[in-house]
Structure 1
Amino acid sequence: MTAVVYAGEVLPTVPAGGALSTDAPDTLAGLLAGWLVWLRGRRLSRNTLIAYRADVAGWVAYCEVHGVDPVRASKRDVTGWQAVTVEVPSPHTGRPPLAATVTRRYAALRSWWDYLVDQDVIAGVPMPSGRGPRVEADSHTVFLSTSEARALEARLQVESLHDQVVILLLLHGGLRGAELGALDVGHVVVEQGATVAKVVGKGRRRRDVPLSAAAVAAVDAYLIARARAVGLDHPGDLPAGAVLCERPGGRRHDSSSLGRLVRRVAHGAGIESWRRLSAHSLRHTCATAMRDAGVPLDDVQAILGHASITTTQRYERGRGALRRKVAAVAMLEAA
């Protein structure tokens, strides 16, 4: 069974008596709703909010099964949950969660306790001492080689204008999938002689992403076609709040729809790794291409919108790791 908790979103039902020290299930529901509102004021991205909500829903479900009060749990209870969240396979992949996922779940639960302390519901945070699992320093996202990126660009000649815009914004602009999905027509503007996309990234941080000449041409052609399709004389007459890259019915793209689009176009381009690609693969490819072209690391960080250069360095290490290994094997063979 489920109970509506916040804006139509559902979390597992908690029994009215027994394990709960609250007076009624509505008390927990109210705290969960308040926590979600509290999180909104902490400059978290929409995707992070969705992930945190799911993570704490998992905590509540764990408590329901094990007879634990999700509000006034002990460190021992949280330790038990940590053991489960590290080992239980993902229902989507059948594999244990990545270290980054587990670390995010720890952070989500920590935010739940911080909220309860902030609201004077509990006296202290019952999280055990120690940190979460170590997140690997290198990025393991599959990205494209230079020749594969060129093949993908060449394939765009036979793809729709919509698909051209999507691929070029990801490949040349390095946008996150969520950032692309959130773009409106009015977010593409000309400033100081350059066409830029006004992007809102993680933590609601805003940045200007300059568009390549190919991306500008694709966007212009796409918007002209959009305007003509609805009887407008000029693309500037399109509503500024209209979705830039719209799916059928005017819907916005999400990571799943973008991943399918990227894989379909990559398959058409004859890229062998097409099944393993995602929207993030093209963002990674963009970062790699910029570094190969000699763009300074801090400029790459600014374009990608990384809050910390450490994140950008993960792309950098991923960029050179395979090349160094191939060179090492070649040296061994020569010896």
Structure 2
Amino acid sequence: MSTEIEHRSGNTLDRSVEQQLLHLRDVLGQVAPRDPRTRRLGPRCWRLELLAEACAPETFRHVVSWLSSTLVSSVASKQAYADDIRNWAAFLQQEEGIAQFALEDVTPFTVRSYRQHAEERKSSPRTIKRRMDSLSSLFTFTGWATGQPILNPVTKFDKPKIDPNDYTTATPVLEVPEFQAVVTAAATPREALVPVLIYTLAGRVSECCSAGLHSLQNEGGQRKLDLRRKGGKGRVFTLPPRLCELLDAATAGRTSGALLLDDQDRAMDRHAIDRMLNRLGQAAGVLPGREVTPHVLRASKLTHMHDEGVPLEDIQQYADHAHIQTTLRYIRQRDDEALKAKHAAAAVKVYDHLVDRFV
């Protein structure tokens, strides 16, 4: 690892820096890069090594410092930001002929050119905005870390306008019978545990993947799960007895290792869980044309809590949302759909007797 990073980044590493890089490498994990021309996935590689190859040496050091900081708090955010920077590097290389991504090469003109390029490729406004936010965060952090005045090329005038009330691209929600059909489609206890655990905890996929049997505790006759949530926050969940029975059937006497294993005894990562849930969703016949993802299960659980009359503050606390606006995205989507249906139905009384002529 150290030799590869030294070669790609142009740095000679001392022991402490090497240990930092090894830790960040493990945090960022691996990804299968997609060929920009053929769109085919290549072999899985360490994200950190791909960044070292894509970035100029000085910029790579800034990226490492930024991704290692608490400004980017969660593992999922670090991975997403790393992928966003690789996307910027690929744009500079393909469209502007710049071999390696360097902060000094990114200008306001580059940002506007990127937006036009992304819009032509039909990227969603939310995706474009997220990538601009990632780049802006890197510039902001680097200016703070170096104490140097660095012009941030991303301004609010460059970002796409996002309609907060546009739910057409929002995460879909499973109704209760649809979720039950997904669980019914599971063939083994290990398969069933995946959707049941994520739904019960309204968990994020990274949180459930990192949970191990060592995270389970017995206190006063109750089973509890110590879950590391987004930003490294520790949360203890008391597990319902019925879930514990399924957990025991799925773990089959194991006392160590990952909580979620596939039927070949391999610890499941986010990609394995995505594949499994999508397969179960297809077998259950739910969400035609859409995939059942861990976030679908999380959104479904929070929405069902709202349907049951759980106070908004309780839903926010259970979801571990830092801001109430995040929780409202789920609730408003549900309320907005119900409100539109109510008003549409109310319109019928105006023309109900006139329709008889035509039907």
**What's the TM-score, normalizing by structure 2?**
0.73
1:221 aligns with 2:249: yes
1:144 aligns with 2:144: no
Q: In structure 2, do the counterparts of structure 1 residues 87 and 274 end up closer, same or farther at CA, with 3 Å as the change threshold?
A: closer
Question: Any conservation in 2 of the 1:73–1:126 contact (CA below 8 Å)?
Answer: no
Q: In structure 2, do the counterparts of structure 1 residues 202 and 122 end up closer, same or farther at CA, with 3 Å as the change threshold?
A: same
Name stretches of at least 5 consecutive residues in structure 1 with no aligned partner: 15-24, 90-94, 228-234
Q: In structure 2, do the counterparts of structure 1 residues 119 and 326 end up closer, same or farther at CA, with 3 Å as the change threshold?
A: closer
Deviation of the 1:141 alpha carbon = 1.0
Q: In structure 2, do the counterparts of structure 1 residues 267 and 212 end up closer, same or farther at CA, with 3 Å as the change threshold?
A: farther
Deviation of the 1:82 alpha carbon = 4.3
For the residues of structure 1 that align with 2:149 and 2:108, how far apart are their CA atoms?
Answer: 17
- Residue 321 of structure 1 corresponds to 336
Identify which of structures 1 and 2 has the higher relative contact order when contacts are C-alpha pairs closer than 8 Å and 6+ apart.
1
Deviation of the 1:256 alpha carbon = 3.2
Q: Which residue of 311, 334, 349 corresponds with 1:296? A: 311
Q: How does 1:27-38 map to 2 (within 5 A)?
A: 28-38=56-66
**What's the TM-score, normalizing by structure 1?**
0.77
Seq. identity, %? 22
Q: How does 1:70-81 map to 2 (within 5 A)?
A: 70-73=102-105, 75-81=107-113
Q: In structure 2, do the counterparts of structure 1 residues 62 and 164 end up closer, same or farther at CA, with 3 Å as the change threshold?
A: closer
Q: Which residue of 173, 184, 197 corresponds with 2:225? A: 197
- Residue 49 of structure 1 corresponds to 78
For the residues of structure 2 that align with 1:294 and 1:274, how far apart are their CA atoms?
Answer: 30
Deviation of the 1:110 alpha carbon = 1.6
Question: Any conservation in 1 of the 2:125–2:160 contact (CA below 8 Å)?
Answer: no
Q: In structure 2, do the counterparts of structure 1 residues 180 and 74 end up closer, same or farther at CA, with 3 Å as the change threshold?
A: closer
For 1:72, what is the secondary structure of its paired residue?
A: helix
Q: How does 1:100-249 map to 2 (within 5 A)?
A: 101-120=127-146, 122-130=148-156, 132-138=159-165, 140-153=170-183, 155=184, 159-191=187-219, 194-223=222-251, 225=252, 227=253, 235=254, 238-239=255-256, 242-247=257-262
Q: Which amino acid aligns with 1:182?
A: S
For the residues of structure 2 that align with 1:48 and 1:321, how far apart are their CA atoms?
Answer: 29
Deviation of the 1:49 alpha carbon = 1.3
Deviations 1:234-271 (A, max 9, x none): x4xx12xx111023665443333223222322333343
Deviation of the 1:184 alpha carbon = 0.8
Deviations 1:116-152 (A, max 9, x none): 3235385223324326334443552111113323333
For the residues of structure 1 that align with 2:303 and 2:239, how far apart are their CA atoms?
Answer: 17
For 2:281, what is the secondary structure of its paired residue?
A: helix
- Residue 123 of structure 2 corresponds to 96
For the residues of structure 2 that align with 1:78 and 1:311, how far apart are their CA atoms?
Answer: 31
Q: Which amino acid aligns with 2:207?
A: E
- Residue 96 of structure 2 corresponds to 66
Number of matched residues?
301
- In angstroms, what is the RMSD of aligned CA positions? 3.0
Q: In structure 2, do the counterparts of structure 1 residues 35 and 79 end up closer, same or farther at CA, with 3 Å as the change threshold?
A: closer
For 2:224, what is the secondary structure of its paired residue?
A: strand
Q: How does 1:260-271 map to 2 (within 5 A)?
A: 260-271=275-286
Deviation of the 1:109 alpha carbon = 0.9
For 2:156, what is the secondary structure of its paired residue?
A: coil
Question: Any conservation in 2 of the 1:266–1:274 contact (CA below 8 Å)?
Answer: no
Question: Any conservation in 1 of the 2:125–2:161 contact (CA below 8 Å)?
Answer: no
